[in-house]
Structure 1
Amino acid sequence: MIHGPSLAIGAVISAAVLVVVFLSFDVIGNEPELVIQPTPTIQPEGPAKVTMETFLANGSPMLGDSDAPVTLVEFGDYQCHFCNVFFHSTEGNILKNYVETGKVRMIFKDYNIIGPDSINASHGAHCANDQGMFWEYHDILYNNWTGENNGWASSENLLRFAQEIGLDVDKWSECMKSGVHSQIIVASNDDARALELTGTPAFFVIGPDGKVTKLFGAQPYETFERLFETELEKNS
């Protein structure tokens, strides 16, 4: 299922990196290789430049060993049906077999394409991150998913989720009211557009040599397993 972006969100990406790597889209087809270039402080006219920061900045805290040789980046929307399918059918095995064993580290980035509740849910997760509980909130969101734009991610329910995972609700609520994490959510959406994503979930696997492979949709576990093993062989 591919959703067109429903919100006009814009911001300037301002980060510089020295790493130069190549993108290859092995799963999707014969798309051209793109060179990752340093991001300028001021965005010039034309297509946004893609850098390693486009993948790694403006997202969740890294899950797993920070020195893991392979990185998995997911762009998702908490209301997205197939994001929820991935969470329940595939993510658990990835965490058990690759993240918890120190082989893969994982980051989640927001691409809010469905509706306002998607943005509010993203805010909820980032406010939970202020208390060191991003991934717990991320999980409870998907564990309570019941559809798109049907109210399950209402403000009242987001507050209930915060209570259920043991957050300091007063601090979390103040964070939500202030909108302090709006910029990181805007920037993550900009990163998704710079990568020309048209739907969620979308994944990027970054190998130990800096090669980046893109996967679309709720791919089965075996697809990730094959790709991880191919990349890990480079590190042996």
Structure 2
Amino acid sequence: MIHGPSLAIGAGISAVVLVIVFLGFDGISNESELVMQPTPTIQPEGPARVTMETFLANGSPILGDSNAPITLVEFGDYQCHFCNVFFHSTEGDILENYVETGKVRMIFKDYNIIGPDSINASHGAHCANDQGMFWEYHDILYNNWTGENNGWASSENLLRFAQEIGLDVDTWSECMIDRIHSKTIVASNEDARSLELTGTPAFFVIGPDGEVTSLFGAKPYSTFQMTFDSELEKLS
């Protein structure tokens, strides 16, 4: 399943770029600011303040009609098994029946809980977004998923994915090395912790009246359908 048009494989990558990328990517997963952190316990003064920005900021570009009455926010990890299950078994039906019809818009947010490759994959998607191809990269990641912490999201493969969807690989590689989206990724993880999330995927459906419904785990399509239809009834 691909968001947007399929693109031909890009031109070959120079040896210089390959050397730079493989030397540079290793530093990404070792950033102190991106170290895996457990979900914090609530402090005596109370939990972090949750606002609408907690759901909408620090994420992907909107998929669908920006004026759609319902917003579906997913917090995911590209290495997560059940995130991959949702992508392959449920997301396509949501896109066809709700996103493409202008009823729902989607936002993906990072919650990196599995390992360093999860963080690197998030960087890859955000760097692809600089070229207007976040969702294409998001899709190719899930379409190449083979497990957790087994190397499928290695630096070499992330580079290959960028080439396969037709990105300017030199520009994408420079973005990866410079880690220019670190603050966004860190902030998204902080948003997830503010919501006290303990796993992925986690979904939040924001209705036309601003009411938020939470759905945890790879729920079947029927669950999303029932939730969306309930929110759409508020418009009639």
Indicate yes or no: 2:92 matched with 1:92.
yes
Indicate yes or no: 2:193 matched with 1:193.
yes
Distance, in Å, in 2 between the alignment partners of 1:222 and 1:58 is: 28
CA contact (8 A) 1:9 1:190 kept: no
5 Å matches for 1:139-178? 139-178=139-178
Q: Which residue identity is paired with 1:192?
A: A
Distance, in Å, in 1 between the alignment partners of 2:36 and 2:63 is: 28
Please name the residue that 2:118 is paired with. 118
Distance, in Å, in 2 between the alignment partners of 1:9 and 1:225 is: 32
Please name the residue that 2:36 is paired with. 7
Q: 1:73-115: per-residue Cα shift (whole Å, max 9, x none)?
A: 0000000000000000000000000000000000000000000
Q: CA shift at 1:8, angstroms?
A: 2.8
Change (3 A) 1:113 1:170: same
CA contact (8 A) 1:9 1:186 kept: no
Q: CA shift at 1:48, angstroms?
A: 1.1
Superposition TM-score, scaled by structure 1 size:
0.82
Q: CA shift at 1:155, angstroms?
A: 0.2
Q: Which residue identity is paired with 1:111?
A: Y
Q: 1:122-157: per-residue Cα shift (whole Å, max 9, x none)?
A: 000000000000000000000000000000000000
SS at match of 1:84: helix
SS at match of 1:172: helix
Superposition TM-score, scaled by structure 2 size:
0.82
Q: CA shift at 1:235, angstroms?
A: 1.3
Structure 1 gap ranges (5+): 1-5, 11-44
5 Å matches for 1:20-99? 46-99=46-99
Q: Which residue identity is paired with 2:186?
A: V
Distance, in Å, in 1 between the alignment partners of 2:48 and 2:121 is: 27
Please name the residue that 1:13 is paired with. none
SS at match of 1:234: helix
Distance, in Å, in 2 between the alignment partners of 1:158 and 1:193 is: 27
Structure with greater helix share of residues: 2
How many residues are matched? 198
Alignment identity in percent?
A: 85
Change (3 A) 1:9 1:187: farther
Change (3 A) 1:9 1:178: farther
Indicate yes or no: 2:236 matched with 1:207.
no
CA contact (8 A) 1:128 1:162 kept: yes
Distance, in Å, in 2 between the alignment partners of 1:194 and 1:233 is: 30
Indicate yes or no: 2:219 matched with 1:219.
yes
Distance, in Å, in 1 between the alignment partners of 2:38 and 2:227 is: 32
Please name the residue that 1:25 is paired with. none
